[in-house]
Amino acid sequence: MPLLMLAWGALVAFEGALDSFEHQESISREALFPLAEVEGELLELSGLAIHAQPTHGMTLRNYRRKKLVIKSQLVLLLDYFQGQSTELSAVQEIQRQWREIAQLCQQIFDATEAQQEAKLAKAKTQLSQQLQKILNNTQELNYRLIAFQNEANVEHAKAVRAQVRRLVAIISLFALVLAGLFAFSLSRSITVPLRTLAQGVEQLGQGALDHRITLTTQDEFSHLADTFNLMASQLEQSQQDLYRLATLDGLTEVYNRREFNRWLMVEIERSQRNPHPVSLIMVDIDHFKALNDTYGHQAGDLALCEVAQLLQREVRPGDIVCRYGGEEFAVILPKATMTDSQAVAERVRLAIVEQPVILPSLEPIEMTASLGVATYPDHADTKEHLSKQADQALYTAKHLGRNRVQSAQQNDGVASQATI
């Protein structure tokens, strides 16, 4: 844009210079040229005042032609200088002097042979004097016009120079403003995406793997943002996969033994801060080894998966289902009393009995389970003791015939009777 404006300014300045030349040509054509022609014709008339005979070098016919030329050129000058009092007065004076010269010339051409010598001498003297005066006036007007033309050209050149300077100043200011705006826009187009990318990297470094970058630009930064988002998605998916591998049982998709220990510790500590009970149900599939031996390990895996899904459906919202090991499962019940946990355990036992496992061959396999229940702090004061009490209750349920729910309290009674 500044280059276009500079080109436009150069064109304006060039046009101004051309106007100056055109004005000079106008003065030359309409004033100087006619004035020069009048001066030339007057110089040729000076031959009448020098030679003895008027016909020597100047015939009457030539004189009349020159008279018409001088008259017409003076008329042109009068028309051109209308409104310019000084120049107009000078032309009118030259015109008056020409009338006197024309009369003298006519006397010289009209003189008879008898009168010729006496009249010619006087007329030639007067003619010479008048020609000198009119030539002086003509030359003075010519010099004045040339000086005026030069002054006008100088003034016009100064005006053009001032105009060019103003134009250059405006263009320079505009270029600076435009450069500033462009620099600001360029800075924002770079700094804003860079800041957004930096914030995204910071969020990613802080563990916010679900953070995504959104850029409206269609450039390298947008491509970089897409690459960042792809990397973040892959990292998030990898973290989810690692989390599943670290926390979930690969077969049943419930929490593994490690997560069981962590969740049980968390709930016990929470119960200690805000006194409320925590119950634990241990679930063991009855005769699971016989099921594997009869139908194969694939049937056993299918049975484990079915029991895991059944537990997730039958327990309360917020209860934590874990695979304890082998065919044994554990359910942590936050804020559950012994009565609550016994009701949940009985519901689970009945669901296992009522829902046989359907093999790929469509053959149903009926299953039962034994369940042991213990509650913190009624039956234990630590998580290890709670696990031991629930596991002991499960052992008692197995000992008493399987397919039943046994509580740690009932287990304590049976243990006492056995001891007696």
pLDDT digits (tens, 9 = 90+) for 152-178: 667 777 777 787 788 778 888 888 888
- Whether 210 maps to a domain, the answer reads no
pLDDT given for residue 420 in this prediction: 24
CB 105 within 8 A of CB 48: yes
* Alpha-carbon gap, residue 246 to 238, rounded angstroms: 12
Instruction: Provide the CATH number for the domain around residue 358.
Output: 3.30.70.270
- Please say if the pLDDT value at position 418 is more than 90: no
Does 270 share its domain with 392?
A: yes
CB 324 within 8 A of CB 335: no
Using a pLDDT cut of 70, give the percent of the chain over it: 84
Does 44 share its domain with 144?
A: yes
CB 255 within 8 A of CB 267: no
Given 174, 203, 236, which residue is the final one in a domain?
174
- 3-class secondary-structure state, position 334: strand
* Alpha-carbon gap, residue 325 to 248, rounded angstroms: 12
pLDDT given for residue 407 in this prediction: 94
- Whether 188 maps to a domain, the answer reads no
pLDDT given for residue 120 in this prediction: 67
Exposure string over 57-85, b if 16+ CB within 10 A, otherwise e: ebeeeebeebbeebeebbebbeebbeeee
- Whether 15 maps to a domain, the answer reads yes
pLDDT digits (tens, 9 = 90+) for 16-71: 655 655 665 566 667 778 888 888 888 887 776 665 455 445 677 888 888 888 88
Does 259 share its domain with 406?
A: yes
Exposure string over 211-234, b if 16+ CB within 10 A, otherwise e: bebebeeeeebeeebeebbeebee
Q: What is the DSSP string of 31-79?
A: IIHHHHHHHHHHHHHGGGGTSSSTTSS--HHHHHHHHHHHHHHHHHHHH
Using the 8-state DSSP alphabet, how is residue 202 labeled?
H
Tokens of 237: 């998916």
pLDDT given for residue 375 in this prediction: 96
Tally DSSP H helices, then E strands, for the chain.
12, 7
pLDDT given for residue 350 in this prediction: 96
Using the 8-state DSSP alphabet, how is residue 248 labeled?
B
Given 129, 159, 174, which residue is the final one in a domain?
174
* Alpha-carbon gap, residue 128 to 385, rounded angstroms: 152
Does 163 share its domain with 27?
A: yes
159: nearest Cα among 13, 304, 267, 263: 13
Does 149 share its domain with 272?
A: no
Given 145, 174, 203, which residue is the final one in a domain?
174
Averaged pLDDT, 112-131 = 71
- Name beta bridge partners: 407: 373
Say what the alpha-carbon torsion angle 47, 51, 55, 59 is, to the nearest 10 degrees: 0
Averaged pLDDT, 236-242 = 78
Does 152 share its domain with 269?
A: no
Does 131 share its domain with 270?
A: no
**Residue 357 sits in which domain range?**
247-419
- Whether 223 maps to a domain, the answer reads no
Angle between helical axes of 288-295 and 297-314 (0-180°, round to 10): 140
- Whether 235 maps to a domain, the answer reads no
Does 41 share its domain with 123?
A: yes
pLDDT given for residue 152 in this prediction: 67
pLDDT digits (tens, 9 = 90+) for 317-373: 999 999 999 999 999 999 999 999 999 999 999 999 999 998 888 889 999 999 999
Does 383 share its domain with 300?
A: yes
Structure confidence at residue 416 as a pLDDT band (50, 70, 90): very low
Cβ atoms within 10 Å of 284's Cβ, excluding its own: 20
Does 393 share its domain with 252?
A: yes
pLDDT given for residue 52 in this prediction: 46
Does 254 share its domain with 130?
A: no
* Alpha-carbon gap, residue 128 to 134, rounded angstroms: 10
Q: Where are the alpha helices (DSSP H) in 206-219?
A: none
In total, how many domains does the chain have? 2
- Whether 219 maps to a domain, the answer reads no
- Whether 200 maps to a domain, the answer reads no
- 3-class secondary-structure state, position 371: strand
Averaged pLDDT score across all residues of the chain: 82
- Whether 189 maps to a domain, the answer reads no
